[in-house]
Amino acid sequence: MIDLHSHILPGIDDGARSLDIALEMAQQAVDGGVRHMVCTPHIHKGYFDNTFKSIEHTFLEFKKEINRASIPLSLSFAAEVRVNELIPIWFKQKELPFLGDYNGKHILLLEMPHSHIPQGLEVLIKWLLKNNVQPLIAHPERNRELLAEQHKFSWLQRQGCMFQVTAGALTGRFGDKVEDFALAMMRNKAFHVVASDTHDLVRRPNDMGAAYEVVSAFSDEFAQEVFVTRPGAIVSFEQKNEPIND
């Protein structure tokens, strides 16, 4: 499996607090069947003011430690970018870390606030698509406005977004309402990839293996598509040293 969303880089956001924890998270991912992971720390203005360069520096240091520990996990990096008015500026300055490319567009992991759909999102999405950037919305199933008014998910679909569901949402880690929403999306084949969004070893572990079982019980073909084939097509291969294995 290929995990497109993780907070494994140590000390850079609200994910891994130390290198030791990050290395254990990497091993946990491997034990769950993950072979490639994209390190996607937050870029959230005023909270986690990471930049392409700061993420790249931390990533390169972490990759050395992964190799030193002989953990069989290949890595690349991007970011989970919170919706804000500076995104077009960052794009023009070539400061947006993309997951990779898909259908001829750069893939941006875009995070809405957990509480609501932000004003101006439609304008931002249209601007991104016009500039050859495909928004991949992170964990829509955990957005409280979407949970309360699920018809608004259809509105987001019509804007041209892709969607990443969190593995733990499919296994009940975030409660019944989130699980029900995620499973409804699964039955409609309404999301495009599943990723761990792992932050630590216990509270927010890597649930990819358990989530794969849930989705494969619904459809083996869909499970392969959202855990392996499409994530593998998206991953930015030029950041990697070795090929992806299923």
In a domain, 58, yes or no: yes
Q: How far apart are CA 51 and CA 20, in angstroms?
A: 24
Residue 37 and residue 232 in contact, taking contact as beta carbons nearer than 8 Å: no
- How does DSSP classify residue 6? B
Q: What share of the chain is helix, strand, coil (3-state, %, to 5)?
A: 45, 20, 40
Q: What is the pLDDT along the chain (246 residues), one digit of tens a residue?
A: 999 999 999 999 999 999 999 999 999 999 999 999 999 999 999 999 999 999 999 999 999 999 999 999 999 999 999 999 999 999 999 999 999 999 999 999 999 999 999 999 999 999 999 999 999 999 999 999 999 999 999 999 999 999 999 999 999 999 999 999 999 999 999 999 999 999 999 999 999 999 999 999 999 999 999 999 999 999 955 444 343 333
In a domain, 57, yes or no: yes
Map residue 203 onto helix, strand or coil: coil
Domain count, the chain: 1
In a domain, 69, yes or no: yes
In a domain, 240, yes or no: no
In a domain, 242, yes or no: no
| End-to-end C-alpha distance for the chain, whole angstroms | 6
What domain range is 63 assigned to? 2-235
Task: List strand residue ranges (DSSP E) for the chain, in order.
Answer: 2-3, 36-39, 42-43, 74-77, 80-82, 100-102, 105-111, 133-138, 162-166, 193-195
In a domain, 79, yes or no: yes
In a domain, 143, yes or no: yes
Q: What is the CATH number of the domain that holds 78?
A: 3.20.20.140
In a domain, 245, yes or no: no
